[in-house]
Amino acid sequence: MAVSVLPAAAAGLSEPTSIALADRVQMAAINTPLTEAAIPTAYVAGTDSGSTPPLLLIPGFDSSLLEFRRLLPLLPRAWAVDLLGFGFSDRTLCPSLSPGAIKVHLHSFWQQMIDRPVVLVGASMGGAAAIDFALTYPEAVAGLVLLDAAGFAAGPAMGNLMVPPLDSWATAFLRNPKVRRNISRQAYFNKAFVTPDAQLCAALHLQCSGWKEALIAFTKSGGYNFLTAKIAQIACPTLVIWGEQDKILGTKDARRFEAAIADCKLVWVPQCGHVPHLEKPQETAAAIAPFVDQLA
């Protein structure tokens, strides 16, 4: 177990896919225009063989790359990275956390670690981050895979409330184990997936320094509420994968992505909630494979 990279509580992971991915997590010092100091960034490296573009998996809001523990092993040449201010990446060196800062950091990571066009695979808010990145750095993106992605959906209207003491109350509420368990139960169609191991995966990053401060800063920035009018500008091939029983974002946005993006295919995943990469990883990987193959 990579306890030198992850919090010591990672030793309590119990499911094989969780343990295997935790063992692969590394930390890279990423130089960015954001700070003088390099930013410690958590990632899992993919292999460099094959003719298809590498994949770069991006987790969602208040999550970590551990949410790809069941999908990443099924995808050849797949990387995963924690966004600036989230997961196990450093939160303390760049306090002005915003989508703009996240995008610059992600581009710096791509330049230093991969430096060839990738297929971005974004889950939930990670999908919004992937869209924002693709629109700004099209030369770096061979394709997009959006897993029940944000982008059309407005973020929480909480920015103006993120002032003391309301900000501390809000983050304390989100840290509460019962609240997090209820969110997890809402994310899955099959509630049996809400296991102790899943709960630990979803909460490990809360033990990293600056979790509360980063969450407050990002929420105050307004998040990705600016993307709706830009989605039609996506020029790269796009695959939208959506759980038919998504209770977090609903299902209307799946059709909106399909209609707005010129080169877009929509795949529905039956008996699946907001997290097809966790609930139906085999089906999700099977949909991604031919999409990536056509980009070779």
Instruction: Name the residue range of residue 152's domain.
Output: 8-293
Q: Strand, coil or helix: what is 120?
A: strand
Q: Is residue 205 part of a domain?
A: yes
Q: Is residue 3 part of a domain?
A: no
The confidence score (pLDDT) of residue 195 equals 95
Is the distance from CB of 189 to CB of 272 less than 8 angstroms? yes
Instruction: Sort 232 into a burial class: Cβ within 10 Å, 0-12 / 13-18 / 19+.
Output: exposed
Residues 6+ apart with CB under 8 A from 148: 123, 124, 127, 241, 242, 243, 246, 248, 249, 254, 274, 275, 276
Residues 6+ apart with CB under 8 A from 77: 46, 47, 48, 49, 50, 52, 53, 54, 55
Q: Is residue 1 part of a domain?
A: no
The confidence score (pLDDT) of residue 163 equals 46
Q: Into how many domains does the chain fold?
A: 1
Residue 16 has phi, psi (to 5 degrees) of: -55, -40
Residues 6+ apart with CB under 8 A from 78: 44, 46, 54, 55, 56, 57, 68, 71, 72, 121
The confidence score (pLDDT) of residue 136 equals 98
Is the distance from CB of 6 to CB of 200 less than 8 angstroms? no
pLDDT along the chain (296 residues), means of 10: 74 96 96 96 87 95 96 96 96 90 97 97 97 98 98 61 52 80 92 95 94 89 93 98 96 97 98 98 98 93
Comparing CA positions, the residue from 160, 153, 144, 103 lying closest to residue 124 is 153
Q: Is residue 52 part of a domain?
A: yes
**Counting every residue, how long is the chain?**
296
48: tokens are 């460099």
Give the CATH number for residue 270.
Answer: 3.40.50.1820
Is the distance from CB of 11 to CB of 3 less than 8 angstroms? yes
Is the distance from CB of 199 to CB of 184 less than 8 angstroms? yes
Q: Is residue 2 part of a domain?
A: no
